[in-house]
Structure 1
Amino acid sequence: MAAVARIAERELAPGRPGVWQVVMTGGSWSFKMFPDRGPMGGDASFERFDLIRELEAALRPPGETRTLVVEVALDGRGGAEFAHAFAPGGASADTVVLDPEYRHPHHPRPGMPRPAGVEPTGAPTDPEAVRRVGELLEEFVGHHRRLTGRDPEFGEVRTEEELAAAEREMGLRLPEEVRALYLLIGDDMRETGVLGRYKLMPLREVVSEYLEGEPGAWGWNDGVFALDRVVLEADPPGVVRRVSRSDWWVVAFTDLAGNYCAVDLDPGPAGTPGQLIAYGRDFFGPVGYVAESVTARMSAVLEKLRRDDVEPAEGSGRLIVPLYDEDVDYDASESVGSRDLAEVLADVQNREQVQQLYLNDAETLDLRALTATPRLRNLSINRAGRVHLRLPDTVEALSLEAREADLSELAGHPALWDLTVKGGKVRTADLAKLPALSCVDLSGAEVDDVAGLADLDVRALTLSGDQWAVLRASGRLPAHLAGARRAGNSRVLEVVDWSHWLLATH
């Protein structure tokens, strides 16, 4: 422990009291110091990390996976106090999940209703689909041979029996065109792909990917306090359901570079069953719409090949077809200053697609001008002066940092369920007039009646340590609270005590 104290002394201001913490979660570490000293200094050598690794190994019993917090408190006179604890109420040390089954709007639980025509039947693949896919593959092979001097390297073909067995495991039937690909090529993991950047995954990998954890695909931001809680809608509107995950998204393709392509068996009202959607490092916000079907994507690849529209293979001998998914920009960030908001938005080229908007450093904002962004769902106002909160009905999340704003102007808003207020004054009675409100962060606000928050029908609540103390003293919590978060700086034992209180009270 003496070596850990020396680390803390180097990174805190010498001769001054302070607290140094390291949070250990899932093999990763994060550090915190308070009072705030600015960017962390001190020794960032491998020896320091080796020491912390040894400390975690010594403190974490076998099989213990909860977040571990280690704390060193210095008194500024050479004295040090050590403490450590495992997070009792959730993945994060400052978070307690009281209802793990709770989901925000558009975050569906597993067990979604089965779409028509998706049940596994064991019937053979549609011969017409096999013929159609076969013709496209034959043309692809011809172009590949002409451009590279060799045949493409496909995998081991699968049988109807293997397809039926895989579908029984997943509890669904794959689209006929995907079945045809497995019957004809097995996979194309060693090639660029008959679908362009995306390679057909081996059938067993598709099954294991689908069945791992919750069935279906994605849902990585489904936590009560996830950063991207509001689900944006993929373009074009209405084609893909606006959900964070789906039992009926089946990942069958990958580009081996952080992007995954799924067949969508439960599309939106304007979509097509079996359409292709993608998610990954190149997609920001929602999933991306790729193509109406497997054959539509294959046809697009062939159109490129017919024109010899290929890229250099860089000596690999592989065929690279420059068919890239459209990068739709759903975000906009604007510095407003003294300008009128309508003037600012007139300069935003993608304003009709914007679903997430950041407005910064405005002197005055009249939000009625947001009619220019008809798909807006997530609004963040930062460092503003006066804000007139006439919010469009489409907005579901508002983060508000302003010197002057009257929350009563939001009364009756039909869609606002996620509200963060920073640096302003909040009347609890105004929050009670928001019928959809379920996720609230008031840790940076001055609240007139903290005890009254217990009367709100909220599911996720973030408060400062002092605010939680007031609510605790009232002896009440919101009746349907699913998660609580403690913002700001707290000592380890304070957080443990707070967590145990919540778990005992709920």
Structure 2
Amino acid sequence: MQAELAALAHELVTGVDPGFEFLTLRASCSGGGGTFRLTAGPSDHDVASSASMDGLFRLGLDRPVVLELRVEPDGTFEAVVTEGIVQVTSSLPPTYTFVRKPPQRPTEFEVTSLSEVEAVIGASLPVEVHELYARTSMVDEVQLDPPEEILRNWRWHLADVEEDPRRWEHPVLYAGPPDAVRPVQFHPLWVPVGANDWGDAVCVDLAPGPGGRVGQVIQLAGEGPLTYLADSLPELVLPDSYPGTTGLEDHFDAGDRAPAALPPTLQQITVREPGDLDFGLLARLTSLRELRVVRGGSVRLAELAHLPLQRLEVTGYEIELPACETLKALVVNGARVELPPLPNLRVLDVSQADVDVESLPRVDYLVLNAEQWRRCRQTPAAAGVVGESSLARALAWAAERGAGLPREVFRGRAASA
């Protein structure tokens, strides 16, 4: 990797205007693609560059790579390279997230029958699914995947949710009979047997909601909401048009919309600049599972405790939270905040709030700022730190919390490839 980094450093110093104090490239690469952000100097201001990033993306061809590369004007560089940590650079300093014990990648092996698929997932498919596979490879307009492809896609969907804690406990929009389907991104007992024209997975649901049926067919959230399609796979008929999100979600400035005008079917709401809005007026939205309050002032939500809220993101200078038993994820940005009893809370981000760190509830994924972590003794399954500008220090912070992440340091001088 030394030669590749030297070539990348050469691309950077020759691709920006002279006069910089030093350049910092923060990047995450995998599978030949990735994201990056290039800044200059201690102020970390963005700089334009004509540098090709092909060499950067090639670093992640064989394995995921997270790096921070500092290049001086004379071409000398130092790079810290790791994997297993999520580096988000949409705002600076970055946010770093890691899973203390990353899920083990399952061993790949060939399967040739639905019975072998059942053995891996730990549940039986309905008899009608076996009978359908025995006589056809199509149902309506869905090409049925072979067992090996079913298992490959099942593993991919599981890993996609489990490996990045930032995706934990994000409710999805749902269109279908009430309570028929669990409103989650993916469930281990959803068996992907094909896809629609948009590429959204069509699954046999072996873990339905209280109003559903084992073996019902659903479409995963993608181009549209999570959608109930049929009682069983042989009965599947794809709809002529897919349900949109009208009546399911809304985003608005409080001054432009009266709460009384909101449809009672809403599942997600974003309220911007609510001013003196009486949030008690939202109490009639009995399907509301996610609420975001942006640039709020005095935000009082106690009257919403009876709603089936699963995720709450609130910004304000004065915040009163609901004691909501269903709440699984909470993000708070504001002044002093007191947390009510939240027995099912799993994700908590108070990195931008004034809270009593020592009395925080134990959760699976905790996000704090660097100063808060110095006072916190928790070792959650996943952790995030805000306000740590150095990848090296972020790795040291992760090591203190039990994450054995690899770390390589490369030093050298820029050289053309």
Higher mean alpha-carbon deviation, 369-378 vs 387-396, is at 387-396
For residue 220 of structure 1, the aligned residue among 143, 148, 160 is: 160
Specify whether residues 19 and 365 from structure 1 end up closer, same or farther in structure 2 by C-alpha distance, changes over 3 A only: farther
Question: Per-residue deviation at 1:14?
Answer: 3.9
Q: Deviations over 1:150-203 (max 9, x none)?
A: xxxxxxxxxxx977677677665543443443343x213xxxxx52x42333xx
TM normalised by structure 1 equals: 0.64
1:50 matched to which residue of 2? 54
Question: Per-residue deviation at 1:277?
Answer: 0.7
Contact 1:353 1:375 in 2 (8 A): yes
Tell me, which stretches of 5 or more residues in structure 1 are unaligned?
103-109, 111-160, 189-193, 302-321
Specify whether residues 165 and 98 from structure 1 end up closer, same or farther in structure 2 by C-alpha distance, changes over 3 A only: closer
Question: What is the one-letter code of the residue matched to 1:238?
Answer: D
Contact 1:420 1:442 in 2 (8 A): yes
Distance 1:98 1:226 in 2: 14
Secondary structure of 1:346's counterpart equals: helix
Aligned residues: 379
Q: 1:21-420, aligned counterparts within 5 Å?
A: 21-34=26-39, 35-38=43-46, 41-43=48-50, 48-53=52-57, 56=59, 65-74=63-72, 81-87=77-83, 89-90=84-85, 92=87, 94-100=96-102, 173-184=124-135, 186-188=136-138, 194-195=139-140, 197-201=141-145, 205=146, 207-212=147-152, 220-223=160-163, 225-227=165-167, 229-232=169-172, 234=174, 235-255=176-196, 257-279=198-220, 281-284=222-225, 287-297=226-236, 323-329=240-246, 330-337=248-255, 344-348=258-262, 351-393=263-305, 394-402=308-316, 404-406=317-319, 409-410=320-321, 412-420=323-331
Contact 2:171 2:311 in 1 (8 A): no
CA RMSD of aligned residues (A): 3.7
Distance 2:163 2:259 in 1: 32
Which is richer in helix?
A: 1
Question: What is the one-letter code of the residue matched to 2:220?
Answer: Y
Contact 1:216 1:245 in 2 (8 A): no
Q: Which structure has the larger Rg?
A: 1
Question: Per-residue deviation at 1:258?
Answer: 1.0
Distance 2:157 2:23 in 1: 44
Secondary structure of 1:364's counterpart equals: coil
Q: Deviations over 1:261-309 (max 9, x none)?
A: 122233223223322111253233xx210122345435xx8xxxxxxxx
Alignment partner of 1:487 is 2:397: no
Relative contact order: is structure 1 or structure 2 higher (C-alpha 8 Å, sep ≥ 6)? Answer: 2
1:460 matched to which residue of 2? 365
Question: What is the one-letter code of the residue matched to 1:29?
Answer: G
Secondary structure of 1:467's counterpart equals: helix
Tell me, which stretches of 5 or more residues in structure 2 are unaligned?
1-5, 89-95, 107-111, 405-417
Q: Deviations over 1:414-470 (max 9, x none)?
A: 233322122x2134xx2364443332212223x2544x25x53232111233433x3
Distance 1:13 1:431 in 2: 51
Specify whether residues 325 and 13 from structure 1 end up closer, same or farther in structure 2 by C-alpha distance, changes over 3 A only: same
Which is richer in strand?
A: 2
Distance 2:217 2:366 in 1: 37
